Structure 1
Amino acid sequence: MQYPLVITANKPSSRRSREKHAATRDESGVCSNVDRTTAEMVGIVFSALLQDLPFLTFRLYLLFGLDIISHMMIFFTCKNALVVILQLHRLMIVFQQKKKTSNA
């Protein structure tokens, strides 16, 4: 549970195959990023669900449910909340990019 799946990683390949892949176009003549953005969105969701949200909920439970308050606990709770907010922001940006490329 601590190490989420990384599905956005690329296989090592030669420069020629990367250039060939980058130059692929769909019927309208526009380069397609649909597979990359979908994989990135799934990777962000898996990372948040399997790693950051459980830590955040557990720390919030310790702070508010059990009244265990220390400077370190507050720091790490704020850090986890900031990471979750940044992941949600990144997810919204990737979703908007996907929507923009599908409309173009």
Structure 2
Amino acid sequence: MDRPLEPPWGTRLPRPARAISQAEHTGLMLEATTDTVFVGSPTSGTNGDITRALLPGGVVFTFTGQAVLHGDGRQLQKKGLEPHVKVRPTLAGLQAGLGRAAGARPPGAA
């Protein structure tokens, strides 16, 4: 193929606040390789492997020892992917059964 591949989804990608782990990893790859514009709310910032430990007394806890960063070195964990265009759902959109991004508008919009 003589021309570079372009993503079939264009340059806008909805990013719901509940997006975690693999969705954030995919967002990082798109951020690093395309001019994708993220629309929505920041993601949860919970990308990385988890380790589970069992302590005496039956106490179980999980943690990550993996630092996941943006391609330019910025922190992802606990911060998430910040949208280029922040939108919030509207009550009317949610009542109409629209998805969070479909029923959303930019802050300050009437």
Question: TM bucket by the smaller chain?
Answer: under 0.3
Indicate the structure (1 or 2) with the bigger Cα radius of gyration: 1
Identify the structure with the greater helix proportion.
1
TM-score by length of 1: 0.26
RCO higher in 1 or 2 (8 Å CA, sep ≥ 6)? 1
